[in-house]
């Protein structure tokens, strides 16, 4: 392995992709493009505006809202209202119904509240319909449908210091109030389109992968073949985690499929398999899912575990890096040496993944173009056993743009390097907004005590305690990984754990007869200072090939320094927060 040559190659490929417009290369879906956001799955039902009061209102009906709602119900809060812009619960899994959608982290730890709801995942990596059904199961099990408002978008959310409650205004004319609010608006929920010249001119059919049009393609989200594509020339722009999952299905259905690639994904083996009910019955003893979650975290993010119960691509990735570091004699384990060992482990893994492409894809030139030249965690690692194989079909064409991206879209198709590819249908697998302003993604600014806006409070970066409590925003709770465990390899674990923290705090406030609970300025500041001691994230990095992990390769500014997790890692955070919850003193919070 010539490490210097590899470093040079990585840099060369990165340089090709650097753009001066960074995140601005993407289009916000609005105006003439707004139809790309319409909900193709559930008809909107007219209803009268609501003006009632609940104890707890939660914005967002994905895993964050469901997990928090569940824990609140368990803690005795009867009236929980979830407000959701989609037509049902599910969040990501409501919107992303593209063929082949599947979780990338093992179902046993990825799917929340399995033990509580008594569900056994059918596969090691469950498919989208099962995960969406599970979201609905959680909603039913905990009675969260009773007060839920679907197809409802919050437009204004402000603290009423006189009435000591939150006032929530929506696009359905609602003016609701709540003692407490939770925010689970997700980091990746606003679809984006590439800012390619001529995008509005295309006369064929087009849609974003998160609004899959089965009416056009035929087939369904359960895997029925998309028979209406048999006479169609279809193009797909993007080769990220979404495209990796849906391309094999398109390849099997289309007359001709054109995959427009700017940067290849790293695609490692998947190894999916059905879960054996007999095996599951043996392991599913009381407390099993919590044990599995803890074991996953210890193997993936470090912290010591004798066995690897989960054995998925993520735990393998974590273990491989640690094993390499452990080959260093103890006295040589400096930060620099550990980084070099990490790099070695990564070079080896990426070389194996590149060789996998060469072994699977029969056409040599195509195989070369499918090789990823960057560190595995520069972009979202992918795992699939049919994606690379799809390029062996004569009707599937990889149109590699050599890092430049699609040149132009015309009325008839897509232009790359001066050549037009005529298409009947164009699918955008172009991802979701990351790194745009919180207010733009959420659709509202939070207005807390003394009229202070969240955007002002976070102007120099995120400030919180635990990633949950924000000073000046009493009775409000954020549910997301940053400034908490920041366990990116299993996002739902962060959410269920925060849900438990919130339910514990709300129950304590009620027990104490407190109307207000919030973090003190000093406690928030101390937490922010602690976050600044974190060495940062393993994913992305300024020297990585551009993508949403590294702000498209542009310096994100000092505010991004706060987009980190607990300095000692995810396992240590979960241990810390468990003790914090159990202590009953809720250090840093003020109950009034
Ligand atoms: P991504 O943002 O990962 O991918 C967008 C794709 O569009 C990239 O390949 C990008 O290329 C390409 N692109 C953008 N502009 C152009 C252009 N002008 N010309 C050509 N190509 C272009 O979106 P995804 O929807 O794939 O995934 C988003 C995230 O959602 C994932 O990273 C993951 O976190 C999550 N996800 C999780 C799944 C799971 O767990 N099972 C499944 C799917 C998604 P480039 O790389 O060069 O920027």
pLDDT digits (tens, 9 = 90+) for 48-92: 999 999 999 999 999 999 999 999 999 999 999 999 999 999 999
Q: Which of these ranges, 129-138, 248-257, 337-346, has the smallest mean pLDDT?
A: 337-346
Q: Is the pLDDT of residue 421 over 80?
A: yes
Domains, the chain, in order of start with CATH, read: 3-38+191-270+359-428 (3.50.50.60), 53-190+434-591 (3.50.50.60), 282-340 (no CATH)
pLDDT, tens digit (0-9, with 9 covering 90-100), for 313-351: 899 988 888 888 889 998 998 988 988 998 999 999 999
What is the reported pLDDT for 223? 93
Instruction: Give the Å distance between the CA of 195 and the centre of ligand 1.
Output: 14
93 lines ligand 1 (CB under 6 A): no
Q: Is the pLDDT of residue 539 over 80?
A: no
What is the reported pLDDT for 187? 79
194 lines ligand 1 (CB under 6 A): yes
Closest residue by Cα to residue 74 from 506, 477, 495: 506
Question: CA-CA distance, 193 to 427, in Å (whole number)?
Answer: 10
Question: CA-CA distance, 379 to 313, in Å (whole number)?
Answer: 15
Instruction: Give the Å distance between the CA of 190 and the centre of ligand 1.
Output: 13
What is the reported pLDDT for 21? 87
543: pLDDT confidence band, cut at 50, 70 and 90? confident
Question: CA-CA distance, 174 to 168, in Å (whole number)?
Answer: 7
What is the reported pLDDT for 310? 95
210: pLDDT confidence band, cut at 50, 70 and 90? very high
100: pLDDT confidence band, cut at 50, 70 and 90? very high
Instruction: Give the Å distance between the CA of 547 and the centre of ligand 1.
Output: 8
What is the reported pLDDT for 83? 98
208 lines ligand 1 (CB under 6 A): no
Site to substitute for ligand 1 among 207, 238, 313, 382, most atoms within 8 A of C-beta: 238
CA-nearest residue, atom 36 of ligand 1: 241
Q: Is the pLDDT of residue 281 over 90?
A: yes
Q: Is the pLDDT of residue 490 over 80?
A: yes
How far, in Å, are 180, 454, 517, 564 from residue 159 at the CA level?
10, 12, 13, 28
What is the reported pLDDT for 556? 79
pLDDT, tens digit (0-9, with 9 covering 90-100), for 26-55: 988 999 899 999 999 999 999 999 999 999
DSSP classification of residue 149:
B
Q: Which pair of structure tokens corresponds to residue 266? A: 């790293």
Q: Is the pLDDT of residue 441 over 90?
A: no
Instruction: Give the Å distance between the CA of 482 and the centre of ligand 1.
Output: 21
State the pairing for strand pair 80-83/425-428.
unpaired
241 lines ligand 1 (CB under 6 A): yes
Closest ligand 1 atom, CA of 125? 41
Q: Is 190 left (phi over 0), alpha (psi -120 to 50) or beta?
A: beta
What is the reported pLDDT for 553? 85
Contact 565, 573 (CB under 8 A): yes
Instruction: Give the Å distance between the CA of 268 and the centre of ligand 1.
Output: 16
What is the reported pLDDT for 299? 93
CA-nearest residue, atom 22 of ligand 1: 238
423-438 average pLDDT score: 92
Q: Is the pLDDT of residue 437 over 90?
A: no
Q: Is the pLDDT of residue 536 over 80?
A: no
Instruction: Give the Å distance between the CA of 212 and the centre of ligand 1.
Output: 16
Task: Give me the helix-helix angle, 313-326 and 288-301, nearest 10°.
Answer: 50
Instruction: Give the Å distance between the CA of 241 and the centre of ligand 1.
Output: 6
383: pLDDT confidence band, cut at 50, 70 and 90? very high
Kindly report whether the global pTM for this prediction surpasses the value 0.85.
Answer: yes
pLDDT, tens digit (0-9, with 9 covering 90-100), for 307-323: 999 999 899 988 888 88
Give the position of tokens 């940053």.
Answer: 482
23: pLDDT confidence band, cut at 50, 70 and 90? confident
CA-nearest residue, atom 38 of ligand 1: 241
210 lines ligand 1 (CB under 6 A): no
379-402 average pLDDT score: 97
CA-nearest residue, atom 3 of ligand 1: 240
CA-nearest residue, atom 17 of ligand 1: 405
Closest ligand 1 atom, CA of 404? 19
Q: Is the pLDDT of residue 541 over 80?
A: no
CA-nearest residue, atom 45 of ligand 1: 263
Please report the beta strands in 21-130, taking only residues with DSSP state E, as ranges in sequence order.
26-28, 53-59, 80-83
Q: Which of these ranges, 120-124, 319-323, 468-472, has the smallest mean pLDDT?
A: 319-323
Q: Which of these ranges, 258-272, 335-349, 451-465, has the smallest mean pLDDT?
A: 335-349
Average pLDDT taken over every residue of the chain: 95
What is the reported pLDDT for 548? 85
362: pLDDT confidence band, cut at 50, 70 and 90? very high
User: How many Cα atoms are found within 13 Å in the side-chain-facing hemisphere of 497?
Assistant: 32
User: How many Cα atoms are found within 13 Å in the side-chain-facing hemisphere of 457?
Assistant: 24
547 lines ligand 1 (CB under 6 A): yes
Q: Is the pLDDT of residue 537 over 80?
A: no
Q: CA triplet 390, 391, 396: central angle to 5 degrees?
A: 95
384: pLDDT confidence band, cut at 50, 70 and 90? very high
Site to substitute for ligand 1 among 98, 242, 379, most atoms within 8 A of C-beta: 242
CA-nearest residue, atom 25 of ligand 1: 431
387: pLDDT confidence band, cut at 50, 70 and 90? very high
430 lines ligand 1 (CB under 6 A): yes
User: Percent of the chain having pLDDT more than 70?
Assistant: 99
Instruction: Give the Å distance between the CA of 237 and the centre of ligand 1.
Output: 9
């Amino acid at each position: 392995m010539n490490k210097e040559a590899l470093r040079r190659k990585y840099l060369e490929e990165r340089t090709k992709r650097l753009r001066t417009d960074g995140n601005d290369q993407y289009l916000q879906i609005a105006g003439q493009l707004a139809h790309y956001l319409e909900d193709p799955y559930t008809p909107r039902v007219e209803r009268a505006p609501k003006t009632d009061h609940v104890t707890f209102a939660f914005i967002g009906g994905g895993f964050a809202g469901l997990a928090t709602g569940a824990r609140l119900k368990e803690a005795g809060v009867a009236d929980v209202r979830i407000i959701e812009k989609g037509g049902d619960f599910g969040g990501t899994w409501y919107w992303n119904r593209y063929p082949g959608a599947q979780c990338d982290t093992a179902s046993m730890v990825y799917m929340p509240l399995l033990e509580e709801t008594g569900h056994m995942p059918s596969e090691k990596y469950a498919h989208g319909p099962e995960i969406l059904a599970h979201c609905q199961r959680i909603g039913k099990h905990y009675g969260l449908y009773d007060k839920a408002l679907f197809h409802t978008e919050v437009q204004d959310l402000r603290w009423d210091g006189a009435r000591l409650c939150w006032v929530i205004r929506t696009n359905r004319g609602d003016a609701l109030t709540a003692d407490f609010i939770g925010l689970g608006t997700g980091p990746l929920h606003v679809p984006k389109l590439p800012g390619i010249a001529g995008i509005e001119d295309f006369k064929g059919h087009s849609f974003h992968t998160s609004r899959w049009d089965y009416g056009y393609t035929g087939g369904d989200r359960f895997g029925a073949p998309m028979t209406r594509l048999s006479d169609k020339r279809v193009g797909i722009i993007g080769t990220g985690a979404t495209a990796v999952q849906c391309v094999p299905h398109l390849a099997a259905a289309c007359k001709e499929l054109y995959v427009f690639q700017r940067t290849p994904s790293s695609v490692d083996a998947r190894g999916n398999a059905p879960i054996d009910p007999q095996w599951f019955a043996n392991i599913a003893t009381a407390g099993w899912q919590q044990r599995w979650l803890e074991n996953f975290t210890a193997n993936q993010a470090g912290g010591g575990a004798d066995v690897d119960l989960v054995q998925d691509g993520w735990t393998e990735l974590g273990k491989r890096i640690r094993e390499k570091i452990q080959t260093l004699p103890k006295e040589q384990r400096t930060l620099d040496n550990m980084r070099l060992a990490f790099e070695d482990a990564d070079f080896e893994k990426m070389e194996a993944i590149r060789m996998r492409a060469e072994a699977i894809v029969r056409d040599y030139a195509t195989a070369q173009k499918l090789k990823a030249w960057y560190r595995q965690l520069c972009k979202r690692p992918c795992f699939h056993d049919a994606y690379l194989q799809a390029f062996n079909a004569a009707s599937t064409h990889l149109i590699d743009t050599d890092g430049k991206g699609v040149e132009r879209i015309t009325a008839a198709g897509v232009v790359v390097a001066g050549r037009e590819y005529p298409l009947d249908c164009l699918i955008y697998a172009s991802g979701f907004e990351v790194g745009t302003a919180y207010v733009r993604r959420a659709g509202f600014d939070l207005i807390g005590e003394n009229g202070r806006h969240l955007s002002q409070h976070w102007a120099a970066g995120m400030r919180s305690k635990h990633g949950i409590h924000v000073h000046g925003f009493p009775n409000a709770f954020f549910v997301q990984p940053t400034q908490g465990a920041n366990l990116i390899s299993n996002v739902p674990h962060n959410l269920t754990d925060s849900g438990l923290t919130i339910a514990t705090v709300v129950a304590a406030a009620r027990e104490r007869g407190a109307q207000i609970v919030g973090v003190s300025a000093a406690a928030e500041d101390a937490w922010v200072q602690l976050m600044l001691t974190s060495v940062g994230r393993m994913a992305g990095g300024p020297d990585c090939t551009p993508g949403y992990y590294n702000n498209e390769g542009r310096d994100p500014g000092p505010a991004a320094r706060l987009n980190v997790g607990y300095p000692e890692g995810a396992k240590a955070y979960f241990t810390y927060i468990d003790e914090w919850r159990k202590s009953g003193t809720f250090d840093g919070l003020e109950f009034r």
